[in-house]
Amino acid sequence: MSAEFALDPRLAGDSVPVIELPLCSVRLMDDARFAWLLLVPRRASTSEIHELDGIERERLWREIGLAGEALRAVAPCDKLNLGALGNIVRQLHVHVVARREGDAAWPGPVWGSGVAEPYAVQARERLVTALHDRLAAAAD
């Protein structure tokens, strides 16, 4: 890659950092309606999963799995939702969302559903710390 990776400003503005895994920056969406992680591979000029090389793709699937495990461990969850859309922000990013029956978008998708409700700062920090500790313990 010639260009250097820089996190898309919209993704940066919507979320807060949790941990750097070997491939992805993991971030928590600042939306208290859903426990919602964003995984952003630190690869410049990449918008589709198939643009990653084979090793990076394997790494992405591994980190998606870790994100789902961490969410299930720290947040109530009836169903995990996984999504890679990128219709608005083209920088490759993957959503892993802990859904609860009856949550603000249930049973529809979280994307494009209503308006984010930012966390209270202390609640957000507690959740970020819990997710960070889980991911740090599980990551290889």
Closer CB to a copy of itself, residue 47 or residue 129? 47
- Nearest-5° Cα angle at 29, 89 to 125: 150
| Binding flag, residue 139, a copy of itself (CB under 8 A) | no
Taking the C-alpha atoms of residue 29 and residue 26, their distance in angstroms, rounded to an integer, is 10
Closer CB to a copy of itself, residue 82 or residue 123? 82
Task: Select from 16-24, 35-43, 99-107, 117-125 the region that touches a copy of itself (CB under 8 A).
Answer: 99-107
| Binding flag, residue 81, a copy of itself (CB under 8 A) | yes
| Binding flag, residue 109, a copy of itself (CB under 8 A) | yes
| Binding flag, residue 79, a copy of itself (CB under 8 A) | yes
Taking the C-alpha atoms of residue 78 and residue 70, their distance in angstroms, rounded to an integer, is 14
Query: Across-strand partners of 99?
Result: 79
Kindly give the pairing relationship between strand 15-20 and strand 24-29: antiparallel
Task: Select from 11-19, 23-31, 36-44, 75-83 the region that touches a copy of itself (CB under 8 A).
Answer: 75-83
Taking the C-alpha atoms of residue 45 and residue 118, their distance in angstroms, rounded to an integer, is 29
| Binding flag, residue 69, a copy of itself (CB under 8 A) | yes
**CB of 95 closer than 8 Å to CB of 84:** yes
Cis omega (within 30 of 0) for bond into 107: yes
| Binding flag, residue 76, a copy of itself (CB under 8 A) | no
Report in angstroms how near the CB of residue 46 gets to a copy of itself at its nearest: 13
Taking the C-alpha atoms of residue 88 and residue 107, their distance in angstroms, rounded to an integer, is 22
Applying CB under 8 A, which residues contact a copy of itself?
Answer: 47-50, 57-58, 61, 65, 68-69, 79-88, 90, 99, 106-109, 111-112
